[in-house]
Chain A
Amino acid sequence: MMAENIQNEHDIEESLRRVRGGDTDAYEVVIRQLERPLRAWIASLASPGIDVAEIAQQSFITAYLRLQEYEPGTNFSAWLFAIARYQLKTETTRLRRIADYQVRFAPDLLSKELDRQEKEPSSIMATRLEYLRLCTESLGGSLSQFLNWRYQEEVSLEEMAKRSGRSVSAVKKQLWILRQQLKACIEARAATSRSL
């Protein structure tokens, strides 16, 4: 994973060098390398109602237009994520302003979390996504089925309850526990990786 990250950073820096040299199409390589972790990171912290793709696209465009401010070799992905964080924060604040005071808790909470997470390097988010994928694959058949219903097929809780022969509140509880288990699994993998 580390070697891959280094290779990716190297590819990104090379592409940026080409962009500065006039090969504007080389920016496509940068977008391809970073779009997935960036979209995932934004999705994980964006309030409901925020267009994740829009924020990600605007972040790439802003980074492109301000490329002269980026010092080569100083971790472009971290710089891009800082731009994205600013964009997301702005949009979250806008949403909070127009939201009814009773539903401001979500943007409030996520805004606070955005402040806490100064930056999330792309490599960390890419790693977390990979850990999450591995953790979901390690789930047993019936648990995995719940995730597929909810997040892949997006069936209603009532339909999930019908299919599984449980009550709706039991399904909610099951999903809650699954998310907790996945969170713990990600952290365990991260801890193991750090100790190696």
Chain B
Amino acid sequence: MNNHQEQSRLFETLWASFLEGELDAEGSRQLQELLENEETFQNVAVEQYEIHRLLGFLMKEYPEQSESFVQETLQKLRTQTNEFSTQTMQRIRKTVFASPSSLPATPNNKISEQKISAIRRSIGSLFVVSSGWMTAAIAIAVLFYVWKSIALTPVTPDQSTTNNSVDDAVSPADQVRFTRVARAQFFGELSPGVDSSVQSEKTYCLTSGMVELLFPRGAVAILEGPAIFRARDGECLEVDTGLCSVYAPDGAEGFQVLTPDANIVDRGTRFSIHVTDFSETEVHVIEGAADLYRKDIINPDSISKSNSPVQQEIRLTERQSARVQTSKEFQSAPMEFRADQYRKQLPDRIISYEASQGPDGGVDQLLNIRLQRNGQEITHSVDDLIPVELIWFQANEVSRDGHFLGRETLPVDRRELSSNNSLASGVINPGGSEQPLTTTPILKHDPANGIQGTPGMAFRFQKPVKNRLGPDLVLFEIHPISSPTNGDAFHISPLNFQKGRRSLTITNYDLSLLSPEALPVMHMHAHNLLNRPITSLDQLMTDPAQGRPVRLKYRALAVAIDLSDLGYEPDEEADGIFIQDAEDGHGRIDPVFIGGLP
């Protein structure tokens, strides 16, 4: 053995001892010497150290650790920012709010201009006396105060009546409301709740999904994402891009839609408008009439058509369409009429649900579901729904998050977790496949005879579910708020592939993490099984389980599914369904409630 080999062996021994915390003083001296003289040893030492530490991190990791870290960090954050703001606020109060008359009392939690100016002055003076890190900290603290003043301070009746601000009157645009929402996702903000106000002049960026807006005089507009729009004055909607369908009933005539190049004025009609990415405006009138004007005409009714040297107005009547583009002159071109561009209503979906509250305020037992089925909005009590029974389960690999959610103790028959009405219990983390099934799943695992079961889980309805118009079953899954907002993707398949039946992949839920209607779930316990994959329902039912509290926050997402999408004929009955995780690299599906619609 040469000298280098000897040194390498010595280095390995010493560094391994160091990693184990067993290095004595003489070993430390030798190690330091070796590291100083040999760069290769330094590299190996860093590599070994990194893996050693990552193994320590990875193998001692458990979900509660993350939750505990997050909560501790947030607590420290609050404490530290409070320390900054306490001192700063004392100064601000002295300099800005010394006089009671300067206290703001505007409605809608809006901060007064007077206060903003005072705060700006205060910030300015603070910047003069501060520098570097403290400047940043104080500026942030002041901004916190501004934010809190705007967003957090509740408005009491007293406050709202002590000021005669012009803001007292609610503007017409503030009376515009989001009346319906379907899988809507907005850039940079949560989806609006049903019946929430549309903020006046605010630009909304609808990245996907649809919303329905109701204007004060009865006009209804449905916008489909991607779309950018804003409500102007209660009788006017401005669309920068996207597809919009308008219905103006009697009394709503004169409702306007502004696009980059044109004003469209309703004359009692149904029409659709498509503003393309190139700012062209396409208008298709379904019934009634609509007038198109140049964008710079403020008041269309004041136009004197006879004095107009160029075309300034185009009237479209039923089943007519036009494409409008303004360059130097207002130009329009006929185009193929497309009735299918007009959307009469939002698609069928789960609108909302109600559930009982657990001890911590999170939801527990599902009570009812409100959904749109074949265009009709209906509410079903959970007792009306057809329950399911778990008849098959197989996982591809060991689940570190366990396969059961529920109370501290598992029920004797673990299948109950899937059959009960609780949104805080279920059999979770089934196996899956990137590709959906194209053949009947195998609900048996007998390797000795060469039979490998299909990864996933199968449910049988307590009585067959009939394929009616619109959705036929509902599925709820719980999803941590720290995960991607769309929910866990999954495949749903018939139990028996025949007569053109097929699988359907669900990647979006009707109620996602961005929906205010997806409610937080009560505290749960997860139960881990032995450190081996679950290959059959029997094994799932009998393997020893160990429970632990779940500390992450979850919400219950929901989606309605139409059996027609699985290839069932109208009025054909389904005995059950098969579910597989879509193996998309995100979390596995955690179904907590499945029910057939009556």
A residues in contact (CB < 8 Å) with B = 1, 3-4, 7-8, 11, 14, 17-18, 21-24, 27-29, 31-33, 35-36, 39-40, 43-46, 48, 53, 56-57, 60-61, 64-69, 102-106, 108-110, 112-113, 128-129, 132-133, 136-137, 147-148, 150-152, 157, 169, 172-173, 175-176, 179-180, 182-183
The 4 A-B residue pairs with the shortest CB-CB distance, nearest first, are A32-B482, A22-B147, A151-B59, A22-B151
7 A-B residue pairs with Cβ-Cβ distance under 8 Å, sorted by A, are: A11-B485, A22-B152, A24-B144, A61-B80, A109-B45, A136-B59, A172-B16
Residues of B within 8 A of A106 (CB): 18
Does B309 sit at the interface, judged by CB under 8 A? no
- Determine whether the beta carbon of A65 is less than 8 Å from that of B76: no
Residue of B nearest to A148 (CB): B59
Residues of B within 8 A of A43 (CB): 53-54, 56-57
- Determine whether the beta carbon of B188 is less than 8 Å from that of A17: yes
With A40-B57, A45-B53 given, can you name 7 additional A-B contacts, CB distance below 8 Å? A8-B484, A22-B147, A32-B481, A102-B32, A129-B54, A147-B55, A148-B59
Residues of A within 8 A of B139 (CB): 68
- Determine whether the beta carbon of A105 is less than 8 Å from that of B32: yes
Q: A43-B57, A105-B28, A179-B48 are in contact. Are A57 and B76 (CB under 8 A)?
A: yes
CA distance A57 to B12 in the complex (A): 34
Label chain A's interface by main secondary structure: helix
Does B77 sit at the interface, judged by CB under 8 A? yes
Q: A40-B57, A44-B53 are in contact. Are A66 and B482 (CB under 8 A)?
A: no
Residues of A within 8 A of B151 (CB): 21-23
- Determine whether the beta carbon of B140 is less than 8 Å from that of A65: yes
- Determine whether the beta carbon of A14 is less than 8 Å from that of B50: no
Does B542 sit at the interface, judged by CB under 8 A? no
- Determine whether the beta carbon of B42 is less than 8 Å from that of A65: no
Does B586 sit at the interface, judged by CB under 8 A? yes
Does B35 sit at the interface, judged by CB under 8 A? yes
Residue of B nearest to A151 (CB): B59
- Determine whether the beta carbon of B54 is less than 8 Å from that of A152: no
- Determine whether the beta carbon of A27 is less than 8 Å from that of B481: no
B residues in contact (CB < 8 Å) with A = 12-13, 16-18, 20-22, 25, 28-29, 31-32, 35-36, 42, 45-60, 66, 69-70, 72-74, 76-77, 80-81, 84, 136-137, 139-140, 143-144, 147-148, 150-152, 187-189, 397, 481-482, 484-485, 585-586
Residue of A nearest to B12 (CB): A176
Residue of A nearest to B398 (CB): A137
CA distance A40 to B61 in the complex (A): 10
Residues of A within 8 A of B22 (CB): 157
CA distance A43 to B59 in the complex (A): 13
- Determine whether the beta carbon of A65 is less than 8 Å from that of B69: no
Which of A40, A57, A183 is within 8 Å of B47, CB to CB? A183
CA distance A137 to B46 in the complex (A): 23
CA distance A105 to B58 in the complex (A): 26
Residues of A within 8 A of B32 (CB): 102, 104-105
Which of B55, B66, B80, B144 is within 8 Å of A132, CB to CB? B55
A-B pair number, CB within 8 angstroms: 164
Residues of B within 8 A of A104 (CB): 32
Residues of B within 8 A of A67 (CB): 140
- Determine whether the beta carbon of A157 is less than 8 Å from that of B55: no
- What is the CB-to-nearest-CB distance from A123 to chain B, in angstroms, rounded to a whole number? 13
Which of A24, A66, A103, A169 is within 8 Å of B136, CB to CB? A66
Which of A11, A32, A148, A152 is within 8 Å of B66, CB to CB? A32
Q: A57-B76, A136-B55 are in contact. Are A110 and B60 (CB under 8 A)?
A: no
Residues of A within 8 A of B56 (CB): 43, 151
Residues of B within 8 A of A14 (CB): 187-189
Q: A43-B54, A53-B69, A57-B73 are in contact. Are A151 and B60 (CB under 8 A)?
A: yes
CA distance A103 to B28 in the complex (A): 6
Residues of A within 8 A of B54 (CB): 40, 43-44, 128-129, 132
- Determine whether the beta carbon of A44 is less than 8 Å from that of B50: yes
Residues of B within 8 A of A105 (CB): 28, 31-32, 35-36
Residue of A nearest to B42 (CB): A109
- Determine whether the beta carbon of A35 is less than 8 Å from that of B73: yes
- Determine whether the beta carbon of B69 is less than 8 Å from that of A35: yes
CA distance A146 to B50 in the complex (A): 18
Residues of A within 8 A of B484 (CB): 4, 7-8, 11
Residues of B within 8 A of A23 (CB): 151
CA distance A60 to B73 in the complex (A): 8
Which of A39, A102, A133 is within 8 Å of B28, CB to CB? A102
Residues of B within 8 A of A36 (CB): 66
- Tell me which of A17, A179, A180 has the highest count of chain B C-beta atoms within 10 A of its own C-beta: A179
- Determine whether the beta carbon of A157 is less than 8 Å from that of B69: no
Residues of A within 8 A of B55 (CB): 132, 136, 147, 150-151, 179, 182
- Determine whether the beta carbon of A172 is less than 8 Å from that of B136: no
Residues of A within 8 A of B42 (CB): 109, 112
- Determine whether the beta carbon of B147 is less than 8 Å from that of A24: yes
CA distance A122 to B187 in the complex (A): 23
CA distance A65 to B144 in the complex (A): 10
Residue of B nearest to A113 (CB): B46
- Tell me which of B35, B77, B136 has the highest count of chain A C-beta atoms within 10 A of its own C-beta: B77
Residues of A within 8 A of B136 (CB): 65-66, 68-69
Which of A33, A39, A69, A150 is within 8 Å of B57, CB to CB? A39
- Determine whether the beta carbon of B46 is less than 8 Å from that of A110: yes
- Determine whether the beta carbon of B58 is less than 8 Å from that of A132: yes
Residues of B within 8 A of A28 (CB): 70, 74
Residues of A within 8 A of B31 (CB): 105
CA distance A136 to B57 in the complex (A): 13
CA distance A43 to B61 in the complex (A): 12
Residues of A within 8 A of B70 (CB): 28, 31-32, 35
- Determine whether the beta carbon of B482 is less than 8 Å from that of A182: no
- What is the CB-to-nearest-CB distance from A31 to chain B, in angstroms, rounded to a whole number? 5
Which of B36, B60, B140 is within 8 Å of A152, CB to CB? B60
Residues of B within 8 A of A179 (CB): 47-48, 51-52, 55
Which of B46, B58, B76, B586 is within 8 Å of A136, CB to CB? B58
CA distance A152 to B57 in the complex (A): 9
Residues of B within 8 A of A68 (CB): 136, 139-140, 143
Residues of B within 8 A of A133 (CB): 58
